[in-house]
Chains A and B, each alone.
Chain A
Amino acid sequence: MRDYILLFVNGKRNRIDGADAFRTVSDFLRGVLNLCGTKIVCSEGDCGSCSVLCGTPDFQNRRFSYKPIDSCIRFVYQLDGCNIVTVEGLADNEVQGGKLNCVQQAMIDCHGSQCGFCTPGFVMAMTGILEDSNSPSENDWRRGLTGNLCRCTGYSPIIEAGLRSDTKSSASMNDCFEPTAMLDAIGNAASQEITVTSNTQTIYSPTTIDQAVQYLVQYPEVKIVAGATDVGVQFNKGNCEAEVWLDLNRVWSMKTVSLTGGAIVAGAGATWSDIEILIENDLPQFHQILTWFGSPQIRNVGTIGGNIVNASPIADSLPLMFVCNAELQLTGGDGTREVNINDFYQGYKKFDLQPGELLSQIRIPLPEDDEELRLYKISRRQDLDISSFTGAIKMKLSGRKIRSAVIAYGAVGPVVLRLPKTESFLAGKELNEETMVAAGEIVVSEIKPITDVRGGDEYRLQLARNVLLKFLHEVRPEGALA
């Protein structure tokens, strides 16, 4: 058992215990290490100004894997064994020898900074993009930077800077920060359980599910932390004051995801980035939704388990899981039980997870070949925005006939809703405009959307109707025109 966190920052080792382990990473960088290049704007993962690169150790390949994250919603205790690269570290390392890296140089040459407040975050996210690819396209740059806001430039100069970054002129992070010494310094410590305490808080970081469950059974009131993209925001906004935390980030067995037996089988700790890559070909509809989900920084750490247990009625993955009858594995002291996600939620943020249990695995059966699936995520802004409305429609069709229909809508009630009346109305009907208009009127009798900051009730009701028509036009373009 260890009582401290080992964290590298720009290759330099930090042994962190006590209250500092509970700080957010940005707070630690700025407040403890005086690395003020990392900027804070929102403290909620929505602007990217605090972006840093998080290098996670990969012992097998003897290297670190670097991904941009939002340091404002990541806690120090989540990053044991990682190397954080900040904007200060890009040029100031042995390999670069003080020379600006190619992104920094291109941002200068292309006038990619105006007020400069967003710039460190952009530079980090852009450097992260180059870790993944040598010659990103314009689209790669755009998709890769959805997590970074700039109010000054209108982004064009930044896109240009991306395209003009000459990767040959600067080294990769694994070159800049020699991995061997860091990996050796971590050594066996990687498999140790960690408990750090401060005057007011305790964090326990296990490396196996069994350890995690045992701890949970012992301290049922503990707050579980996975990616912290929900918890971190709640913490920063003063809505989460736990005393005992259980961090799942080092439970590697919970992070795997695969396509097995016609289903996505994901550990609860699998990140959206990993899922996104895996399903690109097999479930393109969901892949599309995931490209809009949060931002790269969010998807790099946010987990599928967190999305489910956070239990928001506007969580973007839920409509799909509802219509595909996803099975949740819940593990506790007495073993593991399975629950269909359609039976999991009981009310607003209420669900069937008993004290002492955690969500360990999710199994999402892929749609059959003769099923049409469409997913909808409607928000004020396409990228990095919480949905105003979500929906999943799955139908089995034979010819012009609907054999069966399954529909789930989000943001229309306290939980994601299946629409049984509409579903049974549709079964056996001809798939045409008349059917869908009539179905729309049944839909609105089954839901009770509210008016809030993301839209009015009328808007949501209209979307609920129209999405049915959109489905029709998408799956039967010829029929719809006729």
Chain B
Amino acid sequence: MNEHSQNLLERVKVLDGKSVGKSIPHDSAIGHVTGSAPYIDDLPRRVDELFVGFAGSPFAAGKIVSVELDDAQKVEGVVCVLTHNDVGPHNIFGPLFCDEPFLADGELLYIGQPLVIVAAETQAALAEGINRIVINATASEPVLSVDEAIKQKKFIGPRRQIKCGDPETAINNAPEKLSGTFYIGGQEQFYLESQAAIAFPGEQDQLIVHSSTQNTTEIQTMVAEVLGLSMHQVVCICKRMGGAFGGKETQAVIPALMVSLVAQRTGRAARIVYDKDTDMCVTGKRHAYVCNWEVGFKPDGQIVGLKCDFYSDGGAAADLSTSVMERTLLHADNSYFFEHAQFNGQVCKTNVPPNTAFRGFGGPQAVAATENIIERIAEYLKIDAFDLRLKNTYGQTDRNVTPYGQLFSGNHMSEIMETLAESSNYRHRVAKLPGRNSTDRMNLHGISMTPVKFGISFTTKFLNQANALVNVYTDGTIQVSTGGTEMGQGLNTKIRQLVADEFGVGYSSVIVMPTSTEKNNNTSPTAASAGTDLNGAAAVNGSQIIKKRLADFAAEIFASPEKGLIPSPDHIEFAGGIVSDVRQPGSGIPFSELCNRARLERIDLGARGFYKTPGVDFNRETGKGNPFLYYTQGAAVAEVSIDRFTGELTVPRVDLLMDIGKSINPKVDMGQITGGFIQGMGWVTAECLVYDEKGNLLSHSPTTYKIPAITDVPPEFNCAFFPNDDNLHCVRRSKAVGEPPLLLGVAAWAAVKNALSFLPSDHDPNLSLPATGEEILRCLTEQANG
């Protein structure tokens, strides 16, 4: 078969697919709406089960003098009280650097840092036990901001750089220059289900840990390491999470360790469920950033040189911070071509909980920083920022190499932006802004379009792999297990669709099983938007192995020497629950019958599929390489309205256009787009982490930390897919969708910046992110006064 007809066949298959491409409801939708889908806290209690909790550090920085446990141990119902002394030699862990104590030992790193674990028969005894623990410690001056960490040179990991051309000279020689410092706030994941885990002791010192985690292998590895077990003695299972957003990629480890330690010590089942306040106080968040920037450009808006120095608030331990910073440096170009650019990144060490993954993983901060610069230049040159963006966008045939040396192929950026400008009536609406703003005395209006080009793949090469276990049963039903975890994103739904189509059976014939290290070993976190790309591809590969065996077998069955038809697996078709030989129309047997007969003939109906992403590689020392398999692209136009007196912000209209390839499940993907955008909008406009001077998080529950509510959804909210089937790199020509839409939230922030530019004063109040009502009012006031 030549390549052309192969492509054609591929396309026909895509079109004929029974499940793929359909908006099948979420795998657990019925369980969700009836309340019957259980989360960790809902699992029935075992009779011997213990309630587990912990006492944490009273200070953000300091030293432990002594810990008094006697009173706690005496509380009736308290079964054990454990400290780092009970952990053994491996009281330290970490996904990248091994630098995070499990239970505080000597030094105190952040407020709430787990110090003493208590396990008790009842919730009341647990609370009483924790209350009775006395921690004597001395406090020292904590580092609570990036600026302070820079001053004290408190850093984590080396400073990284991505550089192209000669930005120094380019900026010096540029006709126009601007520079500044941009402050970007952090963000709480605010998954609704807080961190939770249960451990059950097993035979031969085994532990079975149910964890609300994005990363079963990480839990297995850390539990084994810290508790001194071997990996084959630990099984980690995750059925579902009530949201994660990156917050359960590494941070599920500590609660899992706590219950594992208790189960190991007591031989009893043990469960921990953080309450929301505790969860928010002691777990890491999206990193706050400071970006020092300098840009040179021409009077027509073309950027000739750019330098950004990024500093992130890594918190008290490395966690994933250096990887997060890497993605920042890889996204500082956003969708713009820079001939001369230099992006430096340094993670800072502070006294807050170790910051971690959160949807976008450093990308959003980079894009916000770049879009701030774009808006500044537009303001300064008094030209429309959209023209500036188009002028600097990556080209198709030239101006198409990123600062890290990867060719930007499959580039749809200009097309997406032009199409969106058209569909959102951008030009017309922007043209009306000056008039509206000069007559409306109550509100100030602004509009902005921001693009996104998000690189897909883990930038750590080895993580780009997945395995899947496919079991076909003799009634023709199929179980699939992968290392991918379900956190609401619809991964299981998509895998069911993919596998059903492989075997030509109905969607309901396939079930995706709970994620478990027992079935899928050495897996990567479900992260980097690549859950379906990796696990879906592995599941398809596994299916194809079995399918091949079945096709060979069916070919024998359908062979007909009298008709001159020799056995031909190539002619065996799996469709509509029937397996047939296409050369004999009307022939065919049910898939279930074939499976049953195959077993009788001793044909293996189980297989493991494996997938590794081809071609990706990145050298972090040189800052060069091809870290990404492809890019998910899109753009958003946001319109904002600001109360001139109070700074209150509303977002009356948003238009989004996303290129996510050929969608496996359009409504699942659209849910990622609307959800991601609103989450991003929350980050840039409203969500505000407030600490006191001692390092206590004051905004530690939904009373004080405000994620978008339903009334914050723009009344006019148009979301569309950019039609595209050219992504040959990914399973069924789909594209990853989880993170990219979050970055589009930046449009709402840029629109605020745009609105402020209509004030008469030329003074730049240097709007920071998030643009809360308070921050906007500061800018309004400064501009009115200065």
Contact = CB atoms under 8 A, between A and B. Distances in A.
B646 interface: yes
Nearest to B667: A111
A469 B679 CA distance: 34
Contacts of A159: 710, 713
A54 B620 CA distance: 58
B243 A453 contact: no
Interface in B667-713: 667-668, 670-671, 673-679, 686, 688, 690, 698-699, 701-704, 706-713
B778 interface: yes
Contacts of B643: 470
Contact of B701 (A44, A148, A382): A44
A467 B646 contact: yes
A141 B713 CA distance: 12
Contacts of B720: none
Nearest to B28: A116
Interface string A100-127: 1001110111111111111110010000
Contact of B774 (A39, A107, A459, A467): A459
B241 A473 contact: no
A71 to B, nearest CB: 13
A91 interface: yes
Contact of A87 (B25, B28, B35, B675): B35
A80 interface: no
Interface size class of B (residues with CB under 8 A): 35 or more
B704 to A, nearest CB: 5
A153 B698 contact: no
Given A90-B34, A452-B698, A463-B646, A111 B711 contact: no
A72 to B, nearest CB: 11
Interface stretch (A282-290, A304-312, A360-368, A383-391): A383-391
A152 B675 contact: yes
By CB atoms of chain A within 10 A, which of B32, B648, B670, B774 has the most? B32
A157 B671 contact: yes
Interface string A147-162: 0111111111111000
B710 A155 contact: yes
A42 interface: yes
B194 interface: yes
Nearest to A86: B35
A55 B302 CA distance: 65
Nearest to B709: A383
Contacts, number: 239
Interface string A361-397: 0000000000000001010111111101000000000
Contacts of B710: 141-142, 145-146, 148, 150, 155, 158-159, 383
B562 interface: no
B584 interface: no
Interface string A163-187: 0000000000000000000000000
A42 B274 CA distance: 11
B34 A466 contact: no
Q: Interface residues of A toward B: which range?
A: 35 or more
Contacts of A123: 33
A376 B676 CA distance: 32
A157 B717 CA distance: 12
B23 interface: yes
A91, A151, A154, A380 — most chain B CB neighbours (10 Å): A154
Given A100-B33, A114-B675, A156 B192 contact: no
Given A149-B702, A453-B704, A108 B29 contact: yes
A378 B649 CA distance: 11
A87 B32 CA distance: 10
A251 interface: no
Interface stretch (B74-82, B483-491, B597-605): B483-491
Contacts of A41: 192-194, 276, 702
Nearest to B781: A462
A381 B699 CA distance: 14
A315 to B, nearest CB: 15
B192 A480 contact: no
B33 A104 contact: yes
Nearest to B712: A381
Contacts of B676: 154
A474 B671 CA distance: 40
B442 interface: yes
Contacts of B781: 462
Q: Is the interface of B mostly helix, strand, loop or mixed?
A: loop
A53 to B, nearest CB: 13
Interface in A28-78: 30, 34-44, 46-47, 49
B698 to A, nearest CB: 4
Given A41-B702, A151-B679, A116 B32 contact: yes
Given A108-B30, A117-B243, A151-B192, A88 B35 contact: yes
Given A157-B671, A380-B773, A480 B441 contact: yes
A117 B41 CA distance: 11
B34 A382 contact: no
A277 interface: no
B674 A156 contact: yes
Given A378-B773, A382-B712, A459 B778 contact: yes
Interface string A449-478: 000111110110011001101100110010
B165 interface: no
A18 B614 CA distance: 65
B41 A40 contact: yes
B531 to A, nearest CB: 13
Given A108-B33, A114-B675, A382-B648, A151 B23 contact: no
A143 interface: yes
Between B23, B673, B706, the greatest number of chain A beta carbons within 10 A of the residue's beta carbon is seen for B706
B512 to A, nearest CB: 15
B713 A43 contact: no
Contacts of B191: 115, 117, 151
B772 to A, nearest CB: 6
A152 B33 CA distance: 15
Given A453-B690, A453-B698, A113 B26 contact: yes
A155 B713 contact: yes
Interface in B21-44: 23, 25-26, 28-39, 41-42, 44
B97 interface: no
B214 to A, nearest CB: 12
A154 B702 contact: no
Nearest to B43: A36
B245 interface: yes
Nearest to A91: B34
A111 B772 CA distance: 31
Most chain A CB neighbours (cut-off 10 Å) among B30, B442, B703, B704: B703
Contact of A152 (B243, B277, B706): B243
B243 A477 contact: no
Contacts of A376: 646
B514 interface: no
B699 A453 contact: yes
Interface in A234-285: 237
Nearest to B490: A114
A37 B35 contact: yes
Contact of B719 (A148, A156, A158, A459): A156
A156 B713 contact: yes
Given A36-B42, A380-B772, A384-B709, A44 B192 contact: no
Given A453-B699, A466-B645, A116 B37 contact: yes
Given A43-B275, A452-B698, A154 B677 contact: yes
A146 B32 contact: no
Interface in B184-228: 189-194
Given A116-B28, A142-B711, A388-B773, 13 more contacts: A108-B30, A112-B33, A115-B241, A116-B37, A119-B33, A146-B709, A152-B675, A155-B710, A378-B773, A382-B650, A383-B709, A383-B712, A473-B645
9 contacts: A36-B38, A87-B33, A148-B710, A155-B678, A155-B708, A157-B667, A159-B710, A384-B709, A467-B645
Counting from the closest, the 4 A-B pairs by CB-CB distance are A37-B35, A115-B488, A117-B242, A116-B32
